[in-house]
Amino acid sequence: MNVLLTGGAGYIGSHIAVELLESGYDVVIADNFSNSDKGVITAIEKITGKRIDLFEIDVADKVKLNEVFEQTKPEAVIHLAGFKAVGESVSKPLMYYRNNIDCTLSLLEIMEAHNVNKLVFSSSATVYGIGERLPYTEEMLLGEASNPYGATKQMIERIIMDTVSCGWLSAVILRYFNPVGAHQSALIGEKPQGIPNNLMPYIMQVANGSLPELRVYGNDYPTRDGTGVRDYIHVMDLAKGHVDALKYFQDNDGVEVFNLGTGVGYSVLEIVAAFEKANGVKIPYSIVGRRDGDLAEVYADVKKAKNLLGWNAKLTIEDMCKDSYAFALIEKT
Ligand code: WQD
| pTM, rounded to two decimals | 0.96
**Closest C-alpha to ligand 1, atom 18:** 216
* 325 labelled catalytic: no
Low-confidence ranges of the chain (pLDDT < 70): 333
10 Å CB burial of residue 193 (0-12, 13-18, 19+) is exposed
- For the stretch 94-119, pLDDT in tens is 999 999 999 999 999 999 999 999 99
**Closest C-alpha to ligand 1, atom 22:** 178
Quick check: CB of 303 below 6 Å from ligand 1?
A: no
Question: What per-residue confidence (pLDDT) applies to 173?
Answer: 98
- For the stretch 33-55, pLDDT in tens is 998 889 999 999 999 999 999 99
> How many CB atoms within 10 Å of residue 146?
21
Nearest-atom index, ligand 1, CA of 268: 32
Quick check: CB of 35 below 6 Å from ligand 1?
A: no
Instruction: Check: CB of residue 189 under 8 Å from CB of residue 15.
Output: no
d(CA 3, CA 1): 6
Quick check: CB of 297 below 6 Å from ligand 1?
A: no
Quick check: CB of 219 below 6 Å from ligand 1?
A: no
Nearest-atom index, ligand 1, CA of 293: 19
Question: What per-residue confidence (pLDDT) applies to 294?
Answer: 87
CA of 232 to the centre of ligand 1 (A): 10
d(CA 98, CA 259): 26
CA of 86 to the centre of ligand 1 (A): 9
H/E stretch holding 233 reads strand 232-234
